[in-house]
Structure 1
Amino acid sequence: MQFRARGREFTLLALAVGVVWTAACSISETQVGRAHFAQHKSLGVAELWDPCVGIPENILHDAGFDPETKDNQAESAKGKGDKGCRWRGGHGELNAFSHTLPLRQLADTAGFLSGSEPVTIDDRAATETRDPARNTCGVGFDTTEGTVFLEVTNHSPLTVDDSCAQVAELARRLHVHLPAY
């Protein structure tokens, strides 16, 4: 659009620069990660990070899960486009999956992030979910290779807080083994 009055051209240009500047300054690390992820959303399931081979046995063992109980047929994200794995331990189980969709889009599709909140695992942005009725707590990460989600379910007498502490510690130890963000 062209305006004949010079003052209007300048006002519109200044307004446009201000909008772009404000948007650029308000982008968070998570949004940058999502924008970076958007470049990779043509990934197929075959290219996803595989939790069954990507989680070291010593970390599983140290977290109280038996590497020998690995179940790579575990239902993971309620749909296609994912890889999942499950391990059992003395007090509960660990479910881990990766998915081709970004975390927020996956959550909207699968409906599992109600009651979630942003957390930071070391220097990495994540989302924590809690389900007190199931004694379950999860941590999800957006990565350049899709979403990675870790979920711990403990049996009584342990509580959802115990599950959250366990999955947070597991995520701290694992985040260096996860795809880039």
Structure 2
Amino acid sequence: MMVWLGELGRRRMLVRRRFVVATTVLCGALAMAGCSTTENGNAQPSATTDQAVATAALWDPCTQIPDSTLTNLGLDVASKRSGILGAEEPGWKICGWEDSEFPPNYGVGAYSTIHTIDEVRAKPTNIAFSDVVVAGRSGVQYRQTHNDANEECSLAFPTASGFAQIDLLNISTKSKSMPPCERLKPIAEAIVPLFPK
């Protein structure tokens, strides 16, 4: 009985960590665009028909990043989550994974969107911008004000449709001993070449 309760506690902790990763790593970029509104407490999608068509044409990180690449980077392919807690977001293609340790130490998110780098720069809660070159591709590095410098790092790169992004969130005390941008660098070097031009 005690063993079962201990396992149940570990599973609940993992679910809670996955929720944190999903809502922080995968939702962070979305707040910039105001992807939906509420009316009388009900969510109202803001996507137009044109936006729906553009969304359907976006590069999808869940299908375009090979499992072998993720495994070689130390990510758990079984932890893959598409969209925001399983729900697709108009104007975005989103995928996230956790590292293969139990419990996970960090989460990685990859996105493509119809929104622009200028929108990323204009969002007041995006800070600490610097220009970067990853795998020969120019982009921008930044973080969000609701995460500390030792927690999160985001890298965004312009594309023909908008931009593609990869980010990392340190979710354990152990993982925060390595700066997130340093941890993200080898992951980005492998994944950024797969981003659309």
TM-score under structure 1 length normalisation: 0.66
Shift of 1:50: 0.6
Distance 1:127 1:160 in 2: 23
The equivalent residue for 1:123 is 136
Q: Gapped runs of 5+ residues in structure 2?
A: 1-49
What amino acid is aligned across from residue 120 of structure 1 in structure 2? V
Paired residues in the alignment total: 137
Cα distance change, pair 54–166 in 1 and its aligned pair in 2 (3 A) = farther
Distance 2:118 2:179 in 1: 25
Shift of 1:117: 1.0
What amino acid is aligned across from residue 175 of structure 1 in structure 2? V
Cα distance change, pair 112–49 in 1 and its aligned pair in 2 (3 A) = farther
The equivalent residue for 1:74 is 84
Cα distance change, pair 61–105 in 1 and its aligned pair in 2 (3 A) = same
Distance 1:149 1:171 in 2: 9
Equivalent residue runs for 1:4-153 within 5 Å: 44-74=54-84, 80-89=90-99, 90=101, 91-109=105-123, 111-130=124-143, 131-132=147-148, 135-153=151-169
Q: Is 1:173 matched up with 2:190? A: yes
The answer on whether the counterparts of 1:139 and 1:168 sit within 8 Å (CA) in structure 2 is no
The answer on whether the counterparts of 1:73 and 1:85 sit within 8 Å (CA) in structure 2 is yes
Q: Gapped runs of 5+ residues in structure 1?
A: 1-40
Shift of 1:62: 2.1
- Greater helix proportion: 1
Q: Which runs of 4+ in 1 moved over 4 A?
A: none
Shift of 1:134: 6.7
Shift of 1:72: 0.5
Distance 1:61 1:68 in 2: 10
Identity %: 22
Cα distance change, pair 160–146 in 1 and its aligned pair in 2 (3 A) = farther
Q: Give the alignment's Cα RMSD to 1 decimal.
A: 2.6
3-state secondary structure, aligned to 1:44: helix
TM-score under structure 2 length normalisation: 0.61
Distance 1:146 1:54 in 2: 17
Distance 2:68 2:125 in 1: 29
Bigger-Rg structure (1/2): 1
Deviation track 1:51-106 (CA, whole Å, cap 9, x = no partner) reads 1112121221122211111110326xxx6311111111222111111110122224
